Amino acid sequence: MHQHPTDFIPLNIAVLTVSDTRTADNDRSGDTLASLAREAGHQIHARAIVKDDIYRMRATVSDWIVDPDIHAVITTGGTGLTDRDSTPEALLPLFDRVIEGFGELFRQLSYSEVGSSTVQSRCCAGFANRTLIFCLPGSPNACKTGWSGILAEQLDSRHRPCNFVGQTGAGAE
């Protein structure tokens, strides 16, 4: 099926919360991302909460990367500077390509909200096996900033001059 450039192409998104303390009952950041993605017309294809452990994160995201039905993974948590924050260390080795500007733009947007504290965010993004991976900080406000300031447009096939949707294979026959 050929998509016209003005057609919205919904993506199947997996949401991963990285936390030693969150449960399905109190995962406000994961809930925020899932809600924003659904409101935008996307599907939540998978969702998980894992401890801030490099190998658990890699295992979960690796499973999602090889799943042809998942177009994007959005993580929340583990991007700070504490000893327990290890999302970049876990996921950067999985990337085929890093999206350099994602972290830079996130910190620029975040500066107006949290000031210089934004330098402690090590959020990052990349591609692996045609799957987009975005790693956001673990607060609902940071998730809203990342979604509204970057992801809402870049995950919308109608956004011009460019977006990430075509690189995922979503909407292809």
pLDDT digits (tens, 9 = 90+) for 89-108: 999 999 999 999 999 999 99
pLDDT value for 139: 94
> Looking at residues 104-129, what average pLDDT do you find?
95
Contact between 157 and 145 under an 8 Å Cβ cutoff? The reply is no
pLDDT value for 1: 45
Greater confidence, 131 or 83? Answer: 131
Instruction: Name the pLDDT band for 126 (thresholds 50, 70, 90).
Output: very high
Instruction: Name the pLDDT band for 6 (thresholds 50, 70, 90).
Output: confident
> Looking at residues 70-77, what average pLDDT do you find?
98
Nearest 5°: CA angle at 37, between 23 and 76?
40
pLDDT value for 5: 59
Domain definitions of the chain by residue range: 12-165
Neighbour order of strands in the sheet with 43-50: 43-50, 12-18, 72-76, 131-136, 124-128, 97-98
d(CA 6, CA 158): 5
What digits encode the pLDDT tens for the residues 54-63?
Answer: 999 999 999 9
Q: Of 3.40.50.11540, 3.40.50.720, 3.60.21.10, 3.40.980.10, which CATH number belongs to 12-165? A: 3.40.980.10
Residue that is written with structure tokens 């925020």 in the block: 32
